[in-house]
A and B are shown apart, each in its own frame.
Chain A
Amino acid sequence: MNKTDFDCEVLIVGAGPAGLAAAYRVTQSGSRATVVDDNPDPGGQIWRGEKKKATSPEATAWFEKIRGSKIEFINGARVYHQPAEGILLAERDTEVCELRYQKLILATGARERFLPFPGWTLPNVMGAGGLQSLVKTGLSIDDKKVVIAGSGPLLLAVADHLRQSGAEVLLIAEQASRASLTRFGFNLLGQGGKTAQALNLKRRLSGVKYLTGCWPNAARGKDKLESVRLQRGTKTWDVDCDYLACGFYLVPNLELAHLLGCDVTDGVVFVDEFQKTSLVNVYSAGESTGIGGLELSLVEGEIAGFAAAGKEREARELFSIRQKQNKFARALNRAFELRVELKSLVAADTIVCRCEDVRFDRLQASDSWRAAKLHSRCGMGPCQGRICGAAVEFLFGWKTESVRPPILAVKVGSMVSK
């Protein structure tokens, strides 16, 4: 493998909203910013495809700012190892990028939480964001029948996007109860939806069924999905569809923070008021420090960028905005808390670990993540527990925070190159 060296003043991992906002503020402060990201284009998950054709006003505004700044981008490169303090390695095609940094900002974002239920491994059962990403990158969804299920505001955004792309969205099944959403001010499609975004979505999603307290309890089909069985209260019924887009809220991506040794508390990277982690010269912003949505990610990114560039006064001026967004985030997380009934969707023969095909009944004998790994190979496949980890945390309450380098499957050459 070839090796390319990068000398970075402030290195930012992740080109989603938090990473971009951080990089922008770093360059504005007169320092150099380098952004490394595993996708072909910046934007992260939420702004995937927005660089080429922006549809959201925030994305348009931010990409405009980025274009006018001197941020260095290393796209399509996956960070997998820290050989020594101040150095990260990333794999890009057939080369290894050695990234030497003075300051580091982790903006590694979040992923969907997937919960196992019978049939969830069938082709065409995907994440909600997963299907959206496919449509954004070339899949035609025209006239396809889609059921959207799981939990969180993402389901609505996905429904809106898929409909605009020509899909027939049959219904949205939100596991949270109507009471829970209303209590925390997220009566998104009912009366009282307050934010402009909610109102906009309400208008655009008119005619789509939004069923609260409803979830999928089985997906059926021979070699691919043919129908999904939904449950609401004691009622169950089947719906024929082409795709089931299903994700149960989001969980932070913590692998890199764990690898570096940042303190992680309650499943999020611990940061101080300047978004500084427990490690010297390492900051974190966005969903890695707690699920809070776009606005919170942006302001955290800005604060981290200013702080990493030594502009604490400018960072401090943004604290009040972050405080307001934090309040919103707390309400959001409470409103979409997972109901306990979802733990019993899994059957004895349901596969929990998709990499190693480990069934639920093989896990029941274990009393910890470590024991399960040793006895069943659960979480030992290529995804390294990124999918089943969040599921077993929910199902068994296991802590799944152990990581070792490389933090993802890389080519052998990446490990032995000099």
Chain B
Amino acid sequence: MPETVVVVVNGVLVTMPVGSMVSAAILTAGVSSFRRSVSGEPRGPLCGMGICFECRVTVDFEMHVRSCQRVCENGMDIRTDE
């Protein structure tokens, strides 16, 4: 068994392998809309490498975190669509 971490995505517990990115945890939670665009469209990850800013979410009350570059930590509170 690989080691795991547990994070909270929009109030739901998600178990991920150690080293997973927050973006992977969000999709694993079944959430596909990471943020709303300026005209209100749902958006999700595009580039996977930290340049498009489409996957930005709120992590432990820090806003605009690029979820494809933030590694999951135990107990992390992740919120999308804010």
Contact = CB atoms under 8 A, between A and B. Distances in A.
A-B interaction: yes
A123 B52 CA distance: 13
Interface string A216-252: 0000000110000000000000000000000000000
Given A130-B49, A138-B72, A357-B38, A224 B43 contact: no
A123 B28 CA distance: 14
Interface in A105-155: 111-112, 114, 121-127, 129-135, 137-140
Contact of A134 (B45, B52, B56): B45
A294 interface: no
A390 to B, nearest CB: 11
Contacts of A52: 19
B28 A140 contact: yes
B48 to A, nearest CB: 3
B43 A121 contact: yes
Interface string B46-82: 1111111110100000001000110110000000000
B25 interface: yes
B33 A224 contact: yes
Interface size class of B (residues with CB under 8 A): 35 or more
Interface in A380-416: 381-383, 386-387, 408-409
Contacts of A114: 46-47
A409 B38 CA distance: 17
Contact of B19 (A78, A133, A138): A138
B53 A137 contact: no
Contacts of B13: none
A121 B38 CA distance: 13
A133 B54 contact: no
Chain A, interface SS category: loop
A45 interface: yes
A326 to B, nearest CB: 26
Contacts of B41: 121, 351, 357
Top 5 closest pairs, chain A to chain B, by CB:
A138-B20, A123-B44, A133-B48, A138-B24, A130-B48
19 contacts: A52-B19, A111-B49, A114-B46, A114-B47, A121-B41, A123-B32, A124-B32, A130-B47, A131-B48, A132-B48, A133-B49, A137-B21, A137-B23, A138-B24, A224-B42, A354-B54, A381-B53, A387-B51, A409-B53
Given A135-B24, A138-B25, 8 more contacts: A114-B46, A122-B42, A127-B46, A127-B48, A134-B48, A354-B37, A356-B38, A409-B53
Interface of B: 16-17, 19-21, 23-25, 27-28, 32-34, 37-39, 41-54, 56, 64, 68-69, 71-72
Interface of A: 38-40, 45, 52, 76, 78, 111-112, 114, 121-127, 129-135, 137-140, 223-224, 253, 351, 354-357, 381-383, 386-387, 408-409
